[in-house]
Structure 1
Amino acid sequence: MDDSVYAETDPAELAAYREQVETWMNENMPRRDPVNPWHPTRDDDVGSTRNRELQRRLSDGGYAAVCYPTEYGGQSLTIAHRRIVDEVSMDFDMPLLFSVPTMSITGPTILEFGTEEQKQRYIPAWIRGDELWVQFMSEPSGGSDMAGALTRADRDGDAFVINGSKIWSTFAQRSDYALMLARTNWEVPKHRGLTMFIVPIHHPDIEIHPIQMVDGTEEFCQEFFNDLIIPAENVLGEVDDGWTVASRLLFHERAAVGGASPYTQGRHRGRSADGLADLAELARDRDDGERGLLRQKVGHLETLNQVDRLLSARVVKGIESGYLPAPAGSLVRLFHGLSQVERQSLAFELQRDNALVWNQGETTGAYGVEFVQRQQSCIGGGTTEMARNIISERILGMPREPAADRELPFNQVPRNG
């Protein structure tokens, strides 16, 4: 990661930049409809096309990927500049589908490990809005053991032949490329025989199966690879050293999910997270005996918001200065996941029946959908249990959990079926 993104910036320069961003946004980006807002992560072709169009607008105006280096299409500005863009853009439609994982997870991983040819080929394309990216990491039989990948990549001259399956890939059906972790060596312990590949998704030897969620959407997918041939030039990093690349990808993922990444782009004004004004109004309007308690709960959530913001800033600064190790991003990941569950649970409690049954066009139903999905903030980007393990072992220095297969050649590890 380029440390210059954390550089101190003159307040007068930032004030002038904010004015510049506000002027440009008002003249070039569609203002968000507060009554019937557009959802940038809707799982259809219309949403994908609109995200690409808006990303192209941002790129043409010089407000896409502000922390990326100029030599690849970015602006080489600081995280302070990016936060200004985020704050100003909250009232405008933004291409959030590009923010995670393209800009903030797969993007910085390629920025760190890619060859110069790979960086010149891929980074400008996603900054322009031409290509969306996704991660092919989890597997149906793997659970949280990503290093136990069974998807295999067998060397065949100047190419690799890939067979296997990946799952829980966000919007894979709308994306163009993926970073995929596959096993290239079965005779060494599991962490030492993996390789990261750049994979074109819309390939005749890849089957993509969308997975329907509880709210009817199809955000996640499962993929099947049937003798998929990938050229060796698509290896990211070194052959058999894919775990090094994957570890950094997971670092960027936790930072993005927890709000500590300099590479995310835009955020929309939420219902239960930003200012909590609507929830506070609901609590004030309650005329029963729970009014006082509910107001205290809203105040607690506002405190969580402030802690979340300050914790993110502290962790970012700590990692940049070396005071905190890189895995400290898990602190933000853990706090953000747990506090999000509290926010969505209280929003549901305040909305009561309106979050269970609503008329078409009413927004209260979104609170009910969010409540049903509330645990996803404790799963996506690595579970909260994994975050606790990382904090205990890699930050606090506590003993690692025992693992019988840690030094065992992978082809000797017992497996079901």
Structure 2
Amino acid sequence: MVSTDLESVDAFRARARAWLRDHLPPAPPPDAKDDYSEQAWLRARQTQRLLFDGGFAGICFPREYGGLGLTPAHQQAFTEESLPYEMPLLLNVPSLAICAAALLELGTEEQKRTHLPATLSGDTVLVQFLSEPRGGSDLAGLTTRADRDGERWILNGSKIWSSGAYAADYGLCLARTNWDVPKHRGLTMFLVPVHAPGVTVRRIKQVTGSTEFCQEFFDDVALGEDAVLGRVDDGWDAASKLLQHERAALGGTSPYTSGARPHLGGDATRLLNLARATGQWQDPRVREDVGEARAMNVVRDQLIAHVSRAIADGSLPPSAGAIARLFTAENAWLQTDMAVRIAGAAAATHGPGDAADTERIGTDYLFRAAWSLAGGSTEMARNVISERVLGMPREFAADRDVPFNEVRRGR
């Protein structure tokens, strides 16, 4: 039950509006290039600290761990008021909405009191160490291992596609700790210091030129018992909770993000501006595209609100976040494709003198496939919806009950 002595949403909104106006600079233009430089990460940390000191960080996190202990409605009000201002968007995903949210659910009291206030204040950045170079979508088939050595664990292996790992402090790393049981039953989640001896982080250059993604190598990394997040050999349960928060963050149902959420499909006003800049606003086909994009965004916002309420009141399970995650991915594809269709050749040949609105369309299109993978592939989202929301039978897996050391791999 929500406490009746909470500040009203309207009063909180008014207070946030005044504070934001007095303390934060305007947001960069919508078409500003993504910046994953060290300076950008430092700026995000500083802005997060400003929010924390001003009493507007961790709105839905409990007070005892540095948050405000307020409701998703308070968070939504703050998000709406914060849209015109610069916000530490780099820290939303995965640090706050995925990793900190999972730590809140899984951590010991000591882990939560140590890491959550530091994360909410921007002093600590968290990332995920889940995917592996040979793993594909079979996360439970991972081979990064952690072997017990007295009171320590020794971590060896490699992870990949870790967003922002080069700028992080800790990674939530899923490793195999028992090879004698089926693959889902022998995993453990660890909280790994990114700068510990034996950890190497290499940035990966993508087709867009971005180097946000990383690969990590673990060579005899020593971890204490206090690095275990959750229970030993019960890491699949921990990973499942992490993935639920990931789907919620990418689908727009997470109560732990603040500021703009361009990954949800963006603002259809961008397409309208593009149509005007390219002289096509009177073209009936272009007008239909802009109208469809706006309609899809209305449906998106209504779906996110409906799913969020249903999860909060228990009428849908947390895994229902996959519904919004799937829709927002498809909406992002639709809006990216429409932008290319309106821009035409300028999407690939933008140069001096062309409309500024066409500058990022080509690289956005190259990144389009990421929305079918981020937060788990759309195929996996469909499986989650069918099995965990609709109650349909699980698909067949030949290795489900086979000890992992008997599973044939790499053939």
- TM-score of the two chains, using structure 1 as the length reference: 0.93
Q: Which amino acid aligns with 2:362?
A: G
Return the match for 2:12 from 10, 13, 17. Answer: 17
2:31–2:360 contact (8 Å) kept in structure 1: no
CA deviation vs aligned residue, 1:294-343 (integer Å, no higher than 9, x gap): 21121111111011111111111111222112211110111010111001
Residue 351 of structure 1, CA deviation: 2.1
Helix, strand or coil for the counterpart of 2:257? coil
Distance in 2, matches of 1:234 and 1:360, equals 52
1:357 aligns with 2:352: no
Residue 165 of structure 1, CA deviation: 0.5
CA deviation vs aligned residue, 1:69-94 (integer Å, no higher than 9, x gap): 11111101111111121111111111
Q: For residue 307 of structure 1, what is the aligned residue in structure 2? A: 299
Distance in 2, matches of 1:112 and 1:271, equals 25
Helix, strand or coil for the counterpart of 1:209? strand
Q: For residue 141 of structure 2, what is the aligned residue in structure 1? A: 148
Q: For residue 327 of structure 2, what is the aligned residue in structure 1? A: 335
- TM-score of the two chains, using structure 2 as the length reference: 0.94
Q: For residue 317 of structure 2, what is the aligned residue in structure 1? A: 325
Helix, strand or coil for the counterpart of 2:215? strand
- Cα separation, partners in 2 of 1:146 and 1:33, compared to 1, 3 Å: closer
Helix, strand or coil for the counterpart of 2:157? strand
Q: For residue 224 of structure 2, what is the aligned residue in structure 1? A: 231
Q: For residue 130 of structure 2, what is the aligned residue in structure 1? A: 137
Q: For residue 53 of structure 2, what is the aligned residue in structure 1? A: 60
Q: Which amino acid aligns with 2:120?
A: I
Q: For residue 63 of structure 2, what is the aligned residue in structure 1? A: 70
1:107–1:123 contact (8 Å) kept in structure 2: yes
Out of 80-89 and 145-154, give the one that drifted further.
80-89
Out of 359-368 and 318-327, give the one that drifted further.
359-368
Q: For residue 189 of structure 2, what is the aligned residue in structure 1? A: 196
Runs of at least 5 residues in structure 2 that lack an aligned partner in the other structure: none
Aligned residues between the structures: 409
Alignment of 1:122-271 (within 5 A): 122-267=115-260
Cα RMSD (Å) of the superposition?
2.3
Q: For residue 414 of structure 1, what is the aligned residue in structure 2? A: 408
Residue 203 of structure 1, CA deviation: 1.8
Distance in 1, matches of 2:58 and 2:30, equals 29
1:65–1:265 contact (8 Å) kept in structure 2: no
Identity, % of aligned pairs? 45
Return the match for 2:25 from 27, 30, 36. Answer: 30
Distance in 2, matches of 1:238 and 1:300, equals 48
Return the match for 2:89 from 96, 100, 118. Answer: 96
Distance in 1, matches of 2:321 and 2:263, equals 23
Residue 277 of structure 1, CA deviation: 2.3
Q: Which amino acid aligns with 1:379?
A: L
Helix, strand or coil for the counterpart of 1:228? strand
2:25–2:86 contact (8 Å) kept in structure 1: yes
- Cα separation, partners in 2 of 1:227 and 1:106, compared to 1, 3 Å: same
1:101–1:133 contact (8 Å) kept in structure 2: yes
Q: Which amino acid aligns with 1:134?
A: V
Residue 288 of structure 1, CA deviation: 7.0
Residue 355 of structure 1, CA deviation: 2.4
Q: Which amino acid aligns with 2:25?
A: P
- Cα separation, partners in 2 of 1:404 and 1:319, compared to 1, 3 Å: same
Distance in 1, matches of 2:208 and 2:291, equals 30
Residue 43 of structure 1, CA deviation: 2.0
Residue 9 of structure 1, CA deviation: 10
Q: Which amino acid aligns with 1:219?
A: E
- Cα separation, partners in 2 of 1:59 and 1:410, compared to 1, 3 Å: same
